[in-house]
Structure 1
């Protein structure tokens, strides 16, 4: 079936090799022929649906950003032929000694562009990652991490008090315009394209789950990476860069939102990494837990998060935060 799609797209004479799969059912293949290449996304239905990727990719390109061009598509069978951005993911470039400040600064500029686009950044029908949706995602902490740390199920009343704490925290979130969230905006889904100008130097992938929500969320994903230490000066510079270049009028309010999105993301990931171990048999994420806990604890110091901080201190005192520590 894939061979038929490749043939119909006019690439039947190209060499093919498997690039990678990811946590989903998707697989990627690089097609190579003299002087050009392209990538096949094989995302078999019903488990996968390529249409959101196509829709968001074309939208991002229309906004002046670097998402892959869609060269051919067969949504019914789950195939796309997309522009090849190469192998220089941020993760690879950083590991090879790339300029951290430049890379993260350019990725921050992409988020500024989305903010500046205002309502134009949004598409009809996008789900909202806000309110109850944020709390539901953060339930992974009491549902998976707390039982792992204590050796016993989380009492229903403590799960309820966790929800209540989150509702109190989110009630303190200053009102702000929503923007497009790419959701997994981090080093593994960003490509360095240095021959392109400005924000186009940052190539975007894995955005098919995009939603709308607080503009700080993707910035948290970028500079508070669960699997990589970002230099403190780079973290501070990117946060200030966003506030300044986006023209945020209420800088303190934005930083409150940043702390809330930070706490939500890290609470979710702390639980997720334990779920990956216990449900999916994947222990490789546990060594990253101490880093995520450090970032979670830092975000909890913000006064807007005091209800959640009290819950965490009561149910998960420091000795219970050491899963994954060497």
Structure 2
């Protein structure tokens, strides 16, 4: 068994290095807990998603806290600290940072509990009410002057958007489906997106949380207004088109949302934003970013499966294709639609069979 594991991970020495790294993180975690009077607390590991961060719940004398463990070589905790302070200053509910060890990548945070919007929906909470609350958070945020929130926050550049969009080619098509996409075809894909991206700027700029969907929203009982919605996973926030988070919410990669509810939420959003917002221009941006995001996530979910053995998100591939094709129907996305039609015909729009190919030796 030891020899087989050694071969998989590149030799016995590498296995030992990995074990040492894990033990070192445990030691550093214990030191962080001790400095914050939590070494004797009950510790529970929380589920992880598509990042290198780990989370633990501590309980001591009836007091609950969350510890974020973000290895500094893989994650930077400072953006989380900065955005948390900003969101709380603006009156939203983000976990406050109670203690830090930036050098080693540990944060002590407020604990918002376990009731994500996803769990609430599964337990019979009112879907319309939850989406109204999530929608109102965005309209409240988007009504703020961008100058009030833009200081030292990176911008969502076209370069970043292109880097994300090409994950569809590099991971979903080439690594996942193993389609023969040439370097010239890849360049043509990027050129098609470069032609389409100016449309996203037709929506005004605001703070973009970037992963705004029901898995990352929390029910905060006993709080009124937009603060009743707890916000998670915002460390990658940027200044960019405000349409991004709305399409992230209403074209959820992980759950189906009835079109009637989508229409109601769009009407509610534009009603709150007022007549000065050009709805037609905004919606063009919404659909272009919806296509960019869906294609990006096709690549992200494939990479998670291949590189880390995290296969559960592959179940969402058909839904992502539905979002993609719906968004690509607008004329502003004709170049990308034509590229998809040439290189990914309908019979190739599949869920990658990656389960026997996953492992740490996958490049990228």
Normalising by the residue count of structure 2, what TM-score does the alignment of the two structures yield? 0.83
For the residue of structure 2 that corresponds to 1:191, the secondary structure is strand
Aligned to 2:5: none
Q: Is the 8 A contact 2:176 2:352 kept in 1?
A: no
Alpha-carbon distance in 2 for matches of 1:34, 1:178: 45
Q: CA deviation at 1:48?
A: 2.5
Q: CA deviation at 1:56?
A: 0.7
Q: CA deviation at 1:68?
A: 1.0
Alpha-carbon distance in 2 for matches of 1:273, 1:75: 29
Alpha-carbon distance in 2 for matches of 1:79, 1:274: 29
Q: Which runs of 5+ in 1 are unaligned?
A: none
Q: CA deviation at 1:16?
A: 2.5
- Does residue 1:186 correspond to 2:190, yes or no? no
Aligned to 1:71: 98
Name which of 241, 244, 254 aligns with 1:227: 254
Alpha-carbon distance in 1 for matches of 2:38, 2:311: 40
Name which of 100, 119, 126 aligns with 1:99: 126
Normalising by the residue count of structure 1, what TM-score does the alignment of the two structures yield? 0.92
Alpha-carbon distance in 2 for matches of 1:44, 1:3: 14
Q: CA deviation at 1:174?
A: 5.0
Q: Select between 1-10 and 202-211 the one with higher mean Cα deviation.
A: 1-10
Residues 271-290 of structure 1 deviation map (CA, whole Å, 9 limit, x = unaligned):
22333333433332222111
**Which structure: larger Rg?**
2
- Does residue 1:85 correspond to 2:112, yes or no? yes
Residues 14-66 of structure 1 deviation map (CA, whole Å, 9 limit, x = unaligned):
33322334433322222223342211222232322222111110110001000
| Gap change, CA 1:176 and 1:4, over 3 Å in 2 | same
Aligned to 2:84: 57
Aligned to 1:291: 319
Alpha-carbon distance in 1 for matches of 2:159, 2:123: 41
Q: How many equivalent pairs are there?
A: 325
Pairs within 5 Å for 1:247-326 = 247=274, 248-323=276-351
Alpha-carbon distance in 1 for matches of 2:42, 2:136: 36
For the residue of structure 2 that corresponds to 1:124, the secondary structure is coil
| Gap change, CA 1:42 and 1:149, over 3 Å in 2 | closer
For the residue of structure 1 that corresponds to 2:334, the secondary structure is helix
- What is the aligned-residue RMSD (CA, Å)? 2.1
Aligned to 1:160: 187
Q: Which runs of 5+ in 2 are unaligned?
A: 1-27, 354-364
Q: CA deviation at 1:13?
A: 5.1
Aligned to 2:9: none
Q: Is the 8 A contact 1:287 1:324 kept in 2?
A: no
Alpha-carbon distance in 2 for matches of 1:319, 1:193: 45
Q: Is the 8 A contact 1:121 1:180 kept in 2?
A: no
